[in-house]
Structure 1
Amino acid sequence: MDIQIDRLYELNDDLSEVLIGDRFFPPNYNEVYPTKRVIKGVEKEVFMLRSKTFYEVHASHIPINYMQMDLSPYLLSSGVIANFNNKTKVIYLYNCTHNFIYIEKDCVIGEAYD
């Protein structure tokens, strides 16, 4: 089953306290909306991943029984580090480059399977 970005959240890099222990106080995320950009002469509606930034991706519908996911090789070769939480069906991305990475709004970013 093809996966697309449904909602994208950027980790808030403002000063916030995260406690990991008996109780967990989660970090703050801000929603990122697609914007129009001209990239290599073509105008596209894209999600923009800033450099050295961590993201939480809520993908298009992933069935509950699907426990595995493979990200697109194009996304991984662009310098993104990814992790998939198969319980919450959330994808975590980190742009470890010094470049902006643009993901087209309705682009297939991976595939889920059982």
Structure 2
Amino acid sequence: MFFYAKDGSPACKRGCLSFKDQYDLFRSLEPQVEVIGISQNTVSEHKEFKEELQLPFTLLSDPERNVAESFKVPVHLGAFPAKSSFVIGPDNPSTMSMIGYSGLGSMWPISCLL
């Protein structure tokens, strides 16, 4: 699960495309890994963004930051969730977290999940 600031922003596009590029590898793991992106955008904005980038994973709308706050995701620039990723195991609410990823090149290596 990863949090990002805003559909359509260049940095968030790069981050989402990074997860898209790794999607098949995530899905090949056992147990199979789900990828979920979360931002404050509306459902209709997510639908358009997902179609534009042809994202194969779910985007969730968190306009009131309820989910972000439950994971203690900090606010960036006074309004947006800081880019953050969480690996949630089947028996553990959150087994790994990374606050402040910057898209391409700094996402956890997939090998840490193997």
Higher strand fraction (1 or 2):
1
Same fold (TM over 0.5): no
Higher relative contact order (CA 8 A, sep 6+): 1
Which TM-score bucket, shorter chain as reference? under 0.3
